[in-house]
Amino acid sequence: MRGRPLLHTSYEADQALLNTTAKRVMLGVFFLIVISIPFQIIPGLKFLGEDDWLRLLSTTAVFAIGALGLNILTGLAGQVSLGHSFFMGIGAYTAVWLGGAVGGPLIGLGLPIWVWLPAAGIVAALIGVAVGPTAVRVRGLYLAIVTLGLVFIGEYFFRNWNSLTGGSQVGRDFPRLQVRLWKEEVPIFDFTTPANWFGVEVSGVAKTFLLLAVFALVFTLLAKNLQRTRVGRAFMAIRDRDIAAEIMGVNEFAHKLLAFGISSFYAGIAGALLASFVTRVIPERWDLFLSVQFIAIILIGGAGTVTGAVLGSAFVVLLPRIVQNFTLWLQSVATEGDGILSSIANVFVATTPEDFGLVNTFAGVGPGLSVAQLNLVLYGLLIIGFLIFEPLGLYGIWLRIRNYWKGWPFTY
Amino acid sequence: MTHGLVVLAQATVENNEFAQTLVDGVSFGAIYALLAMGFVIIFKATSVINFAHGALTGLGAFLVAAFATVLDFPGRYVTFLPEWAQWTLNVLTALVAAALIGVILERVFLRPMVGEALFAAAIVTLGLDIVVRTITNDWIGTNPRPLGAPWGLEVVDLGWVRIAWSEIVQIIVTVVLLAGIALFFRSRTGVAMRATAFDQETARAQGINVGRIFSVAWAIGALLAGVAGIFFSVFPRRATGVDPATAFIAFRAFPAVIIGGLDSIPGAVVGGFAIGIAEAAANSYLGFEFLGSGFPGIVGYLLMLVVLLIRPYGLFGTAEIRRV
């Protein structure tokens, strides 16, 4: 049906994963852009191809996988969980148990990626299902505190299980992103070393980024697909009114367990990929703040939406870098320039300990916040701000923009 | 202090381990009880789960350090009073400031969330926790801030058990505060708060100024958190004073709330003391090698899981009635 984008003539078309041409085209274009980033083809986006930006984008991809998992549990099934970082830790340590270096002082079996990566997800999912019955018994705010307990108990184990985790504040090396058939010395394919593809030099960082981007795409599509299945609809029914869902024949207990399992699977994969990507991780990495970051991602992006989880990840991961660049720019304006702009910037940044300013740009402690602290404060304020002013998050903003242009030049 | 009973903390005397554990547990439990009580009062009156309670603890303790040692306000204007009275005055001023900040935080950040989903408000407090904690840490700086408590490091030694003076003060203050809260709930405002806790809309229809009740609840919560923060930052706990880790004490008090039941104030007190004693017991009796470090820190959560398996709404909490 040309020219009538919302007219669906079959149930399949209505329920399709990408039900409009615009969505299909945009996803394709978006993915082409993402793939092209490391090759620095598109003018204006070339800076993203530099190594430090590529690392941030890779982190975004990994965080997106984790956020999609939490989105299934919190956004779809409505179960507030602060325990996401615990399941990520489980995934990471499963990965290192199976894939870690053999023969060292620490546990490691040296198995290839196609064993440890799925296993990370599966073990995390199993533990999620095992913890589930306790968690499913309590509801709402009690659940939030039970899962909070999970983080603390988990962190205690991670800190003390020295032979697996390397010990508190020490950590250990995680298996690299290399494909092997079994335990042979030279990997078949190495995502961490530079290579020459058809005459184009590709750095190790770029290869890692491409791999993680593909992973993120696959998991995004899986999560999107889940929403239109029977299970996904059951999750949403439980979220909206659990008793009503039960009356309609949804097995509440089983579906909550399933939600915990799927969410933990995503978390496990994300944890394993994150640890593998940053190569060395201390047990304290899997703390409450990581969980809060994921809650922030979900809320900033828009709870219950797949697009939101991805947008939120990009926002939360890239924000510190943007804040840092902005502060540096303010600093340069304050110190070098003159005129009104410079004096405004001077109010915000303190360049010496005697100077007044909201943000310090000198090393050490001063009256103002350091850049790291400013980032934390902004995190907090963004969580609060989005909840108060835009409960649908970035997705809600996008929705309003889209609907405005849909009706343009009419307002409705 | 004129008696020969007082010795320095370093003195070693044969102690009764069980009694000592109990004393440690009760004095630590009092801190948890104060925290849990403030938490429950805020939850009951405003139906907000306050994850920022730790931040309020750190902020309260920091304000006390600032007013008592750095600013010496208003102590410097009443030099005719003895030193301990000046200190007490400073502390009271700091606690009033902490309560005021609690009121302001509620008014600015949580009032707009009235009527929204409970968990949305809970997440707002998570954000608030980050903001308040970061700013407090920036003010604290790199070194711990001592509180300058007049009782210092002195300890009463009864032979079979040793009690720090701060612990005696702390237990007296806790009892006074508990009694004060109990009396408060019989006052006009207290009855209004109970009515609000029961049903906000009906309370409003009866002419209760619900917004004011919210403010009072947060003031009490912040004040109790501040008091807990003080006692956590003096001699037997952390003689060095307030540091960024002070705020994390509240995360160990959360299980107290759940053990007692989210909406029960007596439950919070019982839960607080239970966790304090359990942690002290773990400290003295569970010193096994394989448990590693930090085990007492999670005893509360383990206890909470056990209680929840038996009673999903805590010991004294009311089961939620669910309607379709």
Cβ count near B179 (within 10 Å): 10
Q: Mean pLDDT, to the nearest integer, of A333-345?
A: 76
User: Does residue A38 carry a pLDDT above 80?
Assistant: yes
- Among B137, B138, B298, whose Cβ lies nearest the Cβ of A152? B298
- Please indicate whether, in this complex, the C-beta atoms of A373 and B109 are within 8 angstroms of each other: no
Q: Give the least confident one: A66-80, A266-280, A302-316, B227-241.
A: B227-241
- Please indicate whether, in this complex, the C-beta atoms of B127 and A380 are within 8 angstroms of each other: yes
Q: Output the pLDDT for position A192.
A: 87
Q: Give the least confident one: A291-300, B151-160, B315-324.
A: B315-324
* Nearest residue in chain B measured CA to CA from A291: B126
User: Does residue A6 carry a pLDDT above 90?
Assistant: no
β-pairing, A195-197 with A200-202?
Answer: antiparallel
The more confident residue out of A291 and B320 is A291
User: Does residue B162 carry a pLDDT above 80?
Assistant: yes
User: Does residue A286 carry a pLDDT above 90?
Assistant: yes
Q: Give the least confident one: A307-321, B113-127, B175-189.
A: B113-127
Question: If you count them, how many residues does chain B have?
Answer: 324
Neighboring chain B residues of A148 at a CB cutoff of 8 Å: 251, 254
Neighboring chain B residues of A291 at a CB cutoff of 8 Å: none
pLDDT tens-digit readout, A128-186: 999 888 777 777 778 888 898 999 999 999 999 989 998 888 989 999 999 998 888 88
Q: Quick one: which of A408, A382, A299, A16 has its CA closest to A400?
A: A408
User: Does residue B11 carry a pLDDT above 60?
Assistant: no
User: Does residue A370 carry a pLDDT above 80?
Assistant: yes
Cβ count near B2 (within 10 Å): 5
Q: Output the pLDDT for position B293.
A: 78
User: Does residue B80 carry a pLDDT above 80?
Assistant: yes
Max CA-CA distance within chain A?
A: 70
Neighboring chain A residues of B305 at a CB cutoff of 8 Å: 134, 146, 149
pLDDT tens-digit readout, A98-137: 998 888 888 889 899 999 999 999 999 999 999 888 777 7
- Among A243, A299, A391, whose Cβ lies nearest the Cβ of B324? A243
Tell me the residue ranges of DSSP E strands in B65-154. none
Distance CA A344, CA A39 (A): 39
Contacts 24+ apart (CB under 8 A), A197-200: A200/A39
Q: Is A264 exposed, middle or buried (0-12, 13-18, 19+ CB in 10 A)?
A: buried
Q: Output the pLDDT for position B8.
A: 39
Q: Could you say which DSSP state residue B287 is in?
A: -
The full DSSP string for A116-127 is HHHHHHHHHHHH
Q: Output the pLDDT for position B211.
A: 94
> Which distant-in-sequence residues (6+ apart) come within 8 Å of B205 by Cβ?
none
What's the gap in Å between the CA of B91 and the closest CA on chain A? 24
What's the gap in Å between the CA of B130 and the closest CA on chain A? 5
Mean pLDDT score across all residues of chain A = 88
What's the gap in Å between the CA of A306 and the closest CA on chain B? 19
Q: Output the pLDDT for position A1.
A: 46
Would you state the torsion angle of the CA atoms of residues A36, A38, A40, A46, taken in this order, to the nearest 10 degrees? 110
Phi, psi (rounded to 5 degrees) for A22 = -60, -45
- High-pLDDT (> 70) share of chain B, %: 94
Neighboring chain B residues of A140 at a CB cutoff of 8 Å: 118-119, 320
Residue A70, CB-side half-sphere exposure with 13 Å CA sphere: 36
pLDDT tens-digit readout, B195-240: 998 888 999 999 999 999 999 999 999 999 999 999 998 887 877 8
Tell me the residue ranges of DSSP E strands in chain B. 6-7, 155-157, 162-164
Cis peptide before B74 (omega within 30 of 0): yes
Which segments of A110-241 does DSSP mark as H helices, in order? 113-137, 141-160, 162-165, 204-227, 230-240
User: Does residue A270 carry a pLDDT above 90?
Assistant: yes
* Nearest residue in chain B measured CA to CA from A152: B298
- Among B126, B135, B312, whose Cβ lies nearest the Cβ of A138? B312
Phi, psi (rounded to 5 degrees) for A101 = -65, 140
- High-pLDDT (> 90) share of chain B, %: 46
Q: Output the pLDDT for position B58.
A: 94
- Please indicate whether, in this complex, the C-beta atoms of A142 and B258 are within 8 angstroms of each other: yes
Residue to substitute from A295, A388, A389, interface B, most B β-carbons within 10 A: A388
User: Does residue B7 carry a pLDDT above 50?
Assistant: no
Distance CA A59, CA A285 (A): 14
Q: Output the pLDDT for position A366.
A: 62
- Please indicate whether, in this complex, the C-beta atoms of B123 and A247 are within 8 angstroms of each other: no
β-bridge partners, B155: B7, B164
Neighboring chain A residues of B286 at a CB cutoff of 8 Å: none
Q: Identify the band that residue B324 occupies on the pLDDT scale cut at 50, 70 and 90.
A: low
Question: Residues A156, B295: contact at Cβ < 8 Å?
Answer: yes
Domains of chain B, by residue range, sit at 6-310
The more confident residue out of A359 and A314 is A314
pTM for this entry:
0.90
User: Which token pair is A22?
Assistant: 């615009």
Mean pLDDT score across all residues of chain B = 87
ipTM: 0.86
What's the gap in Å between the CA of B105 and the closest CA on chain A? 12
Which of B 96-135 lie inside 8 A of A, CB atoms?
Answer: 109, 112-113, 116, 118-120, 122-124, 126-131, 134-135
Residue to substitute from A81, A143, A145, interface B, most B β-carbons within 10 A: A145
Q: Output the pLDDT for position B303.
A: 92
Distance CA B55, CA B68 (A): 20
Q: Give the least confident one: A68-77, B3-12, B100-109.
A: B3-12
Is B278 at the interface with chain A, CB within 8 A?
no
- Please indicate whether, in this complex, the C-beta atoms of A153 and B298 are within 8 angstroms of each other: yes
User: Does residue B23 carry a pLDDT above 50?
Assistant: yes
Distance CA A330, CA A345 (A): 6
The sign one gets for the Cα dihedral A22, A24, A29, A31 is positive
User: Does residue B9 carry a pLDDT above 80?
Assistant: no
Distance CA B113, CA B209 (A): 17
Question: Residues A94, A268: contact at Cβ < 8 Å?
Answer: yes
Q: Output the pLDDT for position B323.
A: 63
Is A149 at the interface with chain B, CB within 8 A?
yes
Residue B75, CB-side half-sphere exposure with 13 Å CA sphere: 21
Q: SS3 for A140?
A: coil
Q: Output the pLDDT for position A143.
A: 85
Domains of chain A, by residue range, sit at 20-49, 51-299, 305-412
Q: Output the pLDDT for position A15.
A: 83
Neighboring chain B residues of A302 at a CB cutoff of 8 Å: none
Q: Could you say which DSSP state residue A176 is in?
A: P
pLDDT tens-digit readout, B247-270: 888 888 989 998 998 888 899 999
Residue to substitute from A141, A295, A374, interface B, most B β-carbons within 10 A: A141
Which of B 258-277 lie inside 8 A of A, CB atoms?
Answer: 258, 262
Q: Quick one: which of A345, A360, A410, A305 has its CA closest to A70?
A: A305
β-pairing, A189-190 with A195-197?
Answer: unpaired
Q: Which CATH code, of 3.90.930, 1.25.40, 1.10.3470, 1.10.10, is assigned to B6-310?
A: 1.10.3470
- Please indicate whether, in this complex, the C-beta atoms of B122 and A383 are within 8 angstroms of each other: no
